[in-house]
Structure 1
């Protein structure tokens, strides 16, 4: 990929495979890249941050930030942040919005990234949202990012010129795997499981989506699973 004309990019990196591939794309397209990891009290928070730091080390990214959004966990309302809500058994045929949806989470992420981008003078925010092959989250849709881009335009300095880049939003997981392999993404250093255990559980929605993606791509997932 050719490098785009850019004054810098902020990349939201959760530590998952989608954000890792998005990060690799951002690195290939921009001379100046800052990684941003947001802790919000998820079950897998420690494991996700460990994955994030491993990715920073792999790519030798020294410009990174780790910050907290404690309100998302204190509010609860999601199986990812509220221990009183049980994680359901995974399903690839689930319809509707699952209990793992964290209400309006990606808006908080984008707002935080926008603040950082404006401070750093960066004009792009990369996020690894996936619409086609996601779990039905409303804040993973293209229409949401189009609307938020307009909110950024209205709510930042006139010369900020910040746009949101969603390079994998139309990809199936299998294509994300293929793109990651092409770009040399170290999938062994990524974490997708909703649980924060040593080995991925292999049966939550996120694990099932990941495993299907690797299977459809015709390659093995390098992660260890408790159950496949």
Structure 2
């Protein structure tokens, strides 16, 4: 395949994991098509701002920003239902209340439609299985099953691979890889609660801060 014809549709939240995945795709010779989802999450404005700034750094020519009101109507998650508090104790049994029901399945289905239209060979998603919050839709086995379903449900000539290059990494390894690839980590956002300064105590902030701590470097974003 001619390198100029290699396209990767990258699902990008504005967070560190999906940003690293996109940078890895670019370093592998893919033209990046970026897709971002606004789903009435608490930090929607900040995440969208980060997405656009990161796309500028990556010289992304084609961007999709998709607005979904479905998740707000659904509720059932602390990220989309403000009557449910975002946990800050760091102690939760089972699936966290920040889990958004079947979010990655819905995102990947929409991404598949765009990938087929754009003739992209790859969908990139920054799921992390071993060091995540325990979300079921971040498991490698699930993502592989989605790849099979997507290829069964698209044109015969469409052949899409879902790449998840971070799925078996720890957060500290993600930080280290991000530094190696010179990611603009100061432009990424992980906090579930705040849009000005990261709270430092939600599950996502804790995972991020712990990753930087183990990697032995300071996180460049501001915390309360």
- TM-score norm. by structure 1 comes to 0.94
Q: Secondary structure at the match of 1:179?
A: helix
The unaligned stretches of length 5 or more in structure 1 are none
Contact persistence 1:6–1:30 (CA under 8 A): no
Is 1:83 aligned to 2:82, yes or no? yes
1:186, CA displacement in angstroms? 0.6
Please, which of 114, 117, 123 is the counterpart of residue 116 of structure 1?
114
The unaligned stretches of length 5 or more in structure 2 are none
Distance (whole Å) between structure 2 residues aligned to residue 168 and residue 109 of structure 1 = 18
Q: Counterparts in 2 of 1:90-169, with a 5 A limit?
A: 90-91=89-90, 94-169=92-167
Residues 208 and 121 of structure 1: CA distance in aligned 2, closer, same or farther (over 3 Å) = same
1:30, CA displacement in angstroms? 2.9
Contact persistence 1:153–1:161 (CA under 8 A): yes
Distance (whole Å) between structure 1 residues aligned to residue 169 and residue 6 of structure 2 = 27
1:8, CA displacement in angstroms? 1.1
Q: Secondary structure at the match of 2:36?
A: strand
Contact persistence 1:4–1:29 (CA under 8 A): no
Q: How many residues align?
A: 223
Aligned counterpart, 1:60: 59
Runs ≥4 in structure 1, deviation > 6 angstroms?
3-6
- Superposed CA RMSD in Å reads 1.5
Residues 195 and 4 of structure 1: CA distance in aligned 2, closer, same or farther (over 3 Å) = farther
Contact persistence 1:79–1:87 (CA under 8 A): yes
1:90, CA displacement in angstroms? 4.0
Distance (whole Å) between structure 1 residues aligned to residue 45 and residue 121 of structure 2 = 30
Residues 107 and 119 of structure 1: CA distance in aligned 2, closer, same or farther (over 3 Å) = same
Please, which of 189, 205, 208 is the counterpart of residue 207 of structure 1?
205
1:73, CA displacement in angstroms? 1.4
Q: Secondary structure at the match of 2:87?
A: coil
Residues 51 and 165 of structure 1: CA distance in aligned 2, closer, same or farther (over 3 Å) = same
1:5, CA displacement in angstroms? 9.4
- TM-score norm. by structure 2 comes to 0.96
